[in-house]
Amino acid sequence: MTSVLTQPRPIRLKGRSFLALALTPEQPFEDWLVRLDDLAARSAGFFMRRPVVLDINGLDIDRTQLRELINKLGARNVRIMGIEGARPSLLGTDLPPAMTDGRPASNIEAPSEGESVESKSPEKTAPPAPPVPQAQPSMLVTQPVRSGQSIIFTEGDVTVVGSVASGAEIIAGGSIHIYGTLRGRVMAGTMGHASARIFCSKLEAELVAIDGYYKTAEDLGPDLRGKAVQFWLEGDTFKVGSLA
Amino acid sequence: MGKVIVVTSGKGGVGKTTSSAALGAALASNGEKVVVVDFDVGLRNLDLVMGAERRVVYDLVNVIQGEAKLTQALIRDKRLETLYLLPASQTRDKDNLTADGVEWVIGALKQTFDWVICDSPAGIERGATLAMRHADVAIVVTNPEVSSVRDSDRIIGLLDSKTLKAENGERMEKHLLLTRYDPVRAERGDMLKVEDVLEILSIPLLGIVPESMDVLRASNVGSPVTLADERSAPAIAYFDAARRLKGEMLPIAIPGEKRGFFGKFFGRKAA
């Protein structure tokens, strides 16, 4: 019974990406809505089960106009889950949240005459984005990470050329590489990236975690201390291997 | 223009005030003009260690609040005529130290003194951050034990981020002063080794001051250890540290070990 209390399960926070349909309204909105109605008339329910993001980049509108547009779309059963390209001042708590860093995927085909969305397989209506070659973002730290410092980089890997002090912490969306002594806490794969790994040239860590699973210094055992090691996940189990 | 040095550590009781007074006196003994500024508002001690507690009229807070002129608050040492003390207030609240006020005082002191030594309070609160804010050089005082080393590491992080130099994108010059080093306990292995401390903190070593009764004795008679008995082991260590601060290259000996550690430590200097 007490083990439940002494070993609290952490809340797992994961990142996930979805393909959303981006609607780009054009001014004047009345004309654009007529064309949208025309499209919807051809295919009932085209917007029904899709996450829709409203891209208002470059549009010169105020909050009242934006709210009006969203209401009009709502009346057409188009529910907006987020707004891209809006100034922060334009969005209030009553409007959908701002979306940033969207990456373009291929165009989604509008249904042609008489076609029903329900009859189509999802692969056809929303083709997966073709893999665009893209550099994985990473962060390089060339100074020792001092006690009390916190390095948070959820986009990718963190590499430290130097030591990570006791009481310092590194949180990375990808893997963590430490060319020095690891004495602090490191959390890799925090955005739900279970294949992330942790590498260090000398292990004295207080805590290591990958994708929400963690081990404290006590769990790591004395035989690994001072060694060059790597950590990875195999399913739910934490694996440790020597790098020497 | 004088050089501003902050003596800091994070942890209390490691020897910041003792080191500030000893280094101040060592630098002043060559005729250079030195002022030691106590930033520990509410818990001032530097006046006691320097034997000036009965001559305090005005203090740092009075100067910042405009109640006294800077020259009125400065206390000249009775033994060394180029050594001055700017005491902290014992009664005022530490919130009376304003960023603008401290900047003005340090700027004014730099004009007339060769060395401005800021004795930082323990902790990482207002007093400590203001003491380090305008420094050109930092001396990180550390004892060879884990809690002191970790606190020093934290302070080094702040020196690299919260000081004026860091905010201007410059690098703060940092030195490690290892104090209360006990050769007997080091021999037994119940103290961190000098090498381990240097490996963790990775800043150049300014000196190793041995644990000694001479330090306590000097404090009790109200004299910096470098003035009380200049042939004592801690005094020699502080004199050497002061010479290194001026840019001299001197070998560093680990107390209790016969051979010099010249090669070993100067191989590390770039750390």
Which residues on B lie below 8 Å from A183 (Cβ)? 200
**Closest partner residue to A147 among B153, B160, B199, by Cβ?**
B153
Specify the pLDDT at position B270: 43
Phi-psi region of A217 (alpha: psi -120 to 50; beta: other; left: phi over 0): alpha
Distance to chain A for B156, nearest Cα, Å: 7
- Computed over every residue of chain B, the mean pLDDT equals 91
Classified as helix, coil or strand, B98 is coil
Strands (E), B67-148: 75-76, 83-86, 115-119, 137-142
Closest Cα to residue A214, out of A190, A241, A187? A187
Q: Residue A144: closest CA among chain B residues belongs to which residue?
A: B202
Interface test with B, best of A143, A147, A169 (most B CBs within 10 A): A147
Alpha-carbon distances of A130 from A109, A126, B37, rounded to whole Å: 15, 12, 66
Distance to chain B for A146, nearest Cα, Å: 5
Specify the pLDDT at position A201: 96
Judged by a CB distance cut-off of 8 A, whether residue B157 touches chain A is yes
- Asked if residue B209 lies in contact with residue B178, where contact means CB atoms within 8 angstroms, the answer is yes
pTM check: above 0.90: no
Alpha-carbon distances of B197 from A165, B6, B205, B263, rounded to whole Å: 12, 20, 10, 18
Reading chain B (271 residues) residue by residue, the pLDDT tens digits are 899 999 999 999 999 999 999 999 999 998 999 999 999 998 999 999 999 988 998 999 999 999 999 999 999 999 999 999 999 988 888 788 999 999 999 999 999 999 999 999 999 999 999 999 999 999 999 999 999 999 999 999 999 999 999 999 999 999 999 999 998 888 888 889 999 999 999 999 999 999 999 999 999 999 999 999 989 999 999 999 999 999 999 999 887 765 444 444 544 444 4
Phi-psi region of B13 (alpha: psi -120 to 50; beta: other; left: phi over 0): left
Tokens of A50: 């899709």
Inter-helix orientation angle A63-75/A29-42, to 10°: 20
Specify the pLDDT at position A117: 43
Distance to chain B for A167, nearest Cα, Å: 8
The phi, psi pair for A204, rounded to 5°, reads -140, 30
Judged by a CB distance cut-off of 8 A, whether residue B150 touches chain A is yes
Reading chain A (244 residues) residue by residue, the pLDDT tens digits are 444 445 556 666 666 666 777 888 888 888 888 888 887 777 666 676 677 888 888 788 888 888 888 888 888 778 888 888 877 777 777 788 887 777 666 666 665 554 444 444 444 455 556 666 777 789 999 999 999 899 999 999 999 999 999 989 999 999 999 999 999 999 999 988 999 999 999 999 999 999 989 898 888 888 889 999 999 999 888 899 998 7
Across the interface, do A146 and B199 touch by the CB < 8 Å criterion?
A: no
Across the interface, do B156 and A146 touch by the CB < 8 Å criterion?
A: yes
Tokens of A55: 């891209």
**Closest partner residue to A167 among B154, B158, B160, by Cβ?**
B154
- Asked if residue B253 lies in contact with residue B189, where contact means CB atoms within 8 angstroms, the answer is no
Whose structure tokens read 């547009």?
A: A69
Judged by a CB distance cut-off of 8 A, whether residue B162 touches chain A is no
Q: Contacts by B253-260 with C-beta closer than 8 Å and gap 24+?
A: B253/B208, B254/B181, B254/B183, B254/B186, B254/B194, B254/B208, B255/B181, B255/B183, B255/B208, B255/B210, B256/B183, B256/B184, B256/B186, B256/B187, B256/B210, B257/B183
